[in-house]
Amino acid sequence: MIGGANWQGGVLDPESGTLFVSSSTVLKPMSLEPARDRSDMDYIGYMGSSKIGPYGLPLIKPPYGRITAIDLNTGNHKWMVPNGNTPDWIKNNPALKGIEIPRTGTPDRVGMLVTKTLLFAGEGSGLYSAEGGGGNKFLSYDKTTGEIISEIDLPANQAGIPMTYSINGKQYIVVAVGAVGHPGELVALSL
């Protein structure tokens, strides 16, 4: 229901022939149910929770959200990294108490920007994701290895694809942000 390519798309680095793709894995029950007084249609779509596994955890293993670098010259994956931290509802689940949980990524759509050396990506908008999607982090990755170079707190969730421009020799990256209770705005970043 929320899968496929949408606003975020992928980004291509023509110098290295690498395509960077964000994706997420979410398993949820879906059904039709009587509309009753919610619609003039007889039935409406219902999407259940992804907390359908044992102890209210996901039924699938992580990463729940990831970025994959694909070498278009060979078709091989260069690297894949979880994008985003582990959602709190998983990290704080009593069944996992005392277990060190590595970064799982968050199940969301991610807009990216690639430069000569870096790949920039937020955690996602949280608008069309499963539980635990979205987040206010904006990350830069080494585009050749997937290693996280920096992590910046934004005032709200990423809500658009990052842009870049230069004025008087100074480079800027701008990202649209917004969330419930936080009006949309553009945030400009620079060194």
Q: What CATH number does residue 131 fall under?
A: 2.40.128
Overall number of domains in the chain? 1
Structural domain includes residue 159? yes
Q: Which of 24-28, 71-75, 160-164 has the highest mean pLDDT?
A: 71-75
Which tens digit of pLDDT belongs to each residue from 50-85?
Answer: 777 889 888 888 998 899 999 999 999 999 999 988
Residue 178 belongs to some domain of the structure:
yes
Residue 157 belongs to some domain of the structure? yes
| Residue range of the domain that includes 116 | 10-26+50-189
The pLDDT of residue 7: 65
Nearest to 118 by CA among 164, 157, 82, 160: 164
Query: Is pLDDT of 13 > 70?
Result: yes
The arithmetic mean of pLDDT across residues 32-44, rounded, is 90
Q: Would you say residue 40 lies in a domain?
A: no
Torsion of CA 119, 2, 101, 142, to 10 degrees: -10
Q: What is the pLDDT of residue 128?
A: 55
Arithmetic mean of pLDDT over the chain: 88
Residue 98 lies in a domain: yes
CA distances from residue 162 to 5, 7, 24, 92, 124 in whole angstroms, order as listed: 17, 12, 19, 31, 12
3-state secondary structure the chain: CCCCCCCCCEEEECCCCEEEEEEECCCCCEEEEECCCCCCCCEEEEECCCCCCHHHCCCCCCCCEEEEEEECCCCCEEEEEECCCCCHHHHCCHHHCCCCCCCCCCCCCCCEEECCCEEEEECCCCCCCCCCCCCCEEEEEECCCCCEEEEEECCCCECCCCEEEEECCEEEEEEEEEECCEEEEEEEECC
pLDDT for res 8: 74
- Residue 33 lies inside a defined structural domain of this protein: no
Q: Is 42 inside a domain boundary? A: no
pLDDT category of residue 127 using cuts at 50, 70 and 90 = low
- At residue 16, the pLDDT reads 94
